[in-house]
A and B are shown apart, each in its own frame.
Chain A
Amino acid sequence: MNALALPVVLPLLAAFLVRPASLVSSGLARWLGPLVLLLCGAMLVDIALLADGQPVSANIGGFAPPLGIVFYADSMALLFAIAVPLFALLLWPREGMREGGDRVSALMLLLVGSGTGMALSGDLFNLYVFYELLAVASFGLVAASGTARAWAATVRYLLISGFGSVLALIGVALIYTQTGTLNLAQLSEFAPERLANPLGLAAFACLLIGFGVKAELFPVNAWVPEVYATAPKRVSALLAGVVSKLAILVVLRLILLVFDLPEARQLLLVLGLIGLVSGELAAWRARDLPRMLAFSSIGQLGLLFMAMSIPGELGLIAALAVALHHLLMKPALFLLAERWSGGLENLAGAGRKAPLAAGLFTLFALSLLGVPPLPGFWAKLVLLLGLGQQDAVLAQAAIFGVLLMAVVEAHYLFRLVGLLYAKTAHDATPHHRGDLAVASLLGLVLLASMPLLPTLAEGLGWMAHQASDVAAYRAAILDSTIPGVAP
């Protein structure tokens, strides 16, 4: 019945079965995780195909919302929900991490279960719980690399994240005192009346900064460089690529359903712009590839927050385009950084030794910059068009900021590409075949999306149209009298 709940429940269950399974047979423990992820991915795709673009909702335990817990899946939620097991499968820890291998598997499964739950959840209470689960799983994954620097980075990450959860809880408490509900559908009903005031705005700011910790939002992103430099690169790829997008999805839902206020959008624009400028400038000064990628990730997510500040469906399309582009790009770049983690100057000539890796890096660098035929260009173009529609001085300044930072980005990326192809003898160890295969796959997806752009744009438009239809969201959740109307 509640087919929608299975992709959340199964990984959570499997996470605690990995350890017992390893006592029975080590092969079973090793394959349990990937198999469960494959099953979850297939189930989500199946739900998406059955739903045929229509939103699906499921009431957990047969209690009807607003009292019961509800899962809601429209195209946007399903897209992100499918990305979680898919990318976890692509970035599954390699055999190299034999020590504590089943512990890492369990944490990965926990991350997938809570991440999928976050994408599908329809009330703030559950979002908070899944968010905390996701946070704890990611602390464990970062610390699992077993180096002292990773532990120190994790403590810092944990403290900032804990501060974020306190803020998020304050936001939840403020909303609850104002409306008496935490169900997003019901909140969307009460919001224009009870949350369109300074108190509601304060609640939004608290929730934004609270959930923004994972999305590398400006004031709470001090953990990013240390964690990405010390964590295993596959974990960094997962955190930067997928986990950040889940936090973004929560903020998107909040701004679409509950806080559709101009002040809230202004806050997003300002914080995004500061994130973009500070991230790109820091990336320009970075002296090793992992931290350069970490800072550039802050910049890219700043761009994403700016896209979310654009009102209407155009803003949503821009946000989805930037988010999907970043989702493809960052994991691949981190995989390439696995063998190139030394200082930048040590990379001179590395591209001649590893032509495929260097070629992929150049491709991703070009798309990240937004060089015309590549998808990155269209993502940035939609963003600039959306910003250009507004008359506010702030939006004009933001356009200037985006263009200026593109120059900075071009400088440090081309400097690195030039360095990779320098005529110097280089004795780096070649990339691991699995890493290269995944990076090539993501590169191929990027290239394949070019001829499909019109279809993709149509799809994104439809998704944005569906996601911004608040009345339909309410109807799908509150009017379903039969418990568990899953396909």
Chain B
Amino acid sequence: MAWARNILRVNLTKGTCANEPLNMDWAQKYLGQRGLATKYLVEETDPKVDPLSPDNKMIMATGPLTGTCASTAGRYSVITKGALTGAIACSNSGGYFGNEMKNAGYDMIIIEGKSKKPVYLFIEDDKAELLDASAYWGTSCWDTEEGIKAKHQDPQIRVASIGISGEVGVKFACIVNDMHRAAGRSGVGTVMGSKNLKAVAIRGSLGVKVNDPEKFFAATAAGKAVLSENPVTGQGLPAFGTQVLMNVINESGALPTRNSTEVQFEGANSISAEAMAEARQGDGKANLLTTAACFGCTIGCGRISTVERSHYTVAERPEYQIASGGLEYEAAWALGAATGVDDINALTFANFICNEQGFDPISFGATVGAAMEMYETGVISDKETGGIELKFGSAKALTDLAELTGKGEGFGAEIGLGSKRLCEKYGKPELSMAVKGQEFPAYDSRSIQGMGLTYATSNRGACHLRSYTVSSEILGIPEKTDPTASEGKAGLVMAFQDATGAVDSSGLCLFTTFAWSLDDIAPQIDAACEGDWTAERLVEVGERVWNLERMYNIRAGFTGADDTLPKRLLKDAAKTGPAEGKVNELGKMLPEYYELRGWTADGVPSNETLERVAL
């Protein structure tokens, strides 16, 4: 129940698709999705594998709740060794694809090897086959999704695909499903491209069952009531989307600006939720067209927007005079504040290109920001950029580079390396605002101390979605802590990491945790799944998953020395705002964190700890 108890194993080298039963002992230990797929990856691959080698595997995984009526229960994740980072990667996506996969009867799809020629995986319930994708290779995610639906004469097929960026090896390529939802970070799309797998297309009609329907309906109804009554999930996110944060974070002096040279952006209001809803001067309409929910979601934070038709990006190009997903906060920050661009139409257009060609707007925008700093300081010039005047604040440079990066052409191919490789190439590694090769997102850790430890210790490289202490430090959820203080943050980060590990393994969206604690989530899992699932047991699962990922990274060659931040955040104090004069105090937090985790002073889980978490 809840689990389909079934895995599809696809070997691209041999061209085979075979079913096998899910290991239910592991399901009881790792729940599903992020945790369970990581267990499979750890058992089946060498952590030292080249991410782009056929020996790396890529696992698409649902959680036990995926496909049920629990609010937000449509998630799936892609677990692999990340092309951007060389670390464990786990990218989570919404939309409708996860439900379709579960309804076709699969908890996981394990993809192995490499196809000789481009193929796509086509699944109709228990029928799975690899089909020729030559018609779609060299086209966008949008054309691929529409093309596959048209070819099979079935508009109800759900598609997850890579765009050209994933084919040509842009290191932060995504897997895009349902036109604008993405397994976005760490280059999971790059891994998919390296396997010559263009898309996974699914039509599922088998249905999803739960263990105790009566208890499940009661628990999910109670959960939905909590979400609708909560000010963040019931009002803020539905009304403004994640962009509700733009002005809040800027006022907190925590909006990394122009490659983190500053912590507040004078153009923040122009790229905020409020700006998206404002009538444009030209046509009197707002960029924001409507809100959109993912499968099963009763919050509905998604935004659907348009670019003003007279804007230079779309004026001559009717194919972009359409609606698509965005802007979300992280993308708006990366494309905007990180580059100093305050033209909301340019940001919306660049975000469309990220959706269309499948690449991560966070890593893209942050890398453009780093390149802009190198351009302004004379490290690179028009010669390297191919004539693009790469100044901070240039909307034209941003949108031109989005199009070039989407296709891996010109200087876009260099942006596609990600900031770490790009800055190293030009002898300025310190200008890459990244941890373990992954660009950090939209919170400056000088002003939100916990986020520094979050980025430094995140197993998939810098990321806000591994321990979103912004909740506590800025929003006061579940209780307010001082964002400028580092005391107590080690424990806070650890608690968020463990809870998140459980949520990411369940099929639910992390955004529910603005309102839900594990006490709200446990009864839903308990009613759906065999076994007794309490909040305490979910924390155990989360801690186990965290240590499992950590051990993978250690075996891949990472050490405690990689748990660090760019020097800028440790040495150059915030110039303005509430945290003026502060740097991130990682050095104070990290030893305490290791100790709380039961890790050695070098950041290695001790034998006792591994035993305690049953690894």
A and B interact: no
Which residues on A are within 8 Å of B, measured CB to CB? none
Which residues on B are within 8 Å of A, measured CB to CB? none
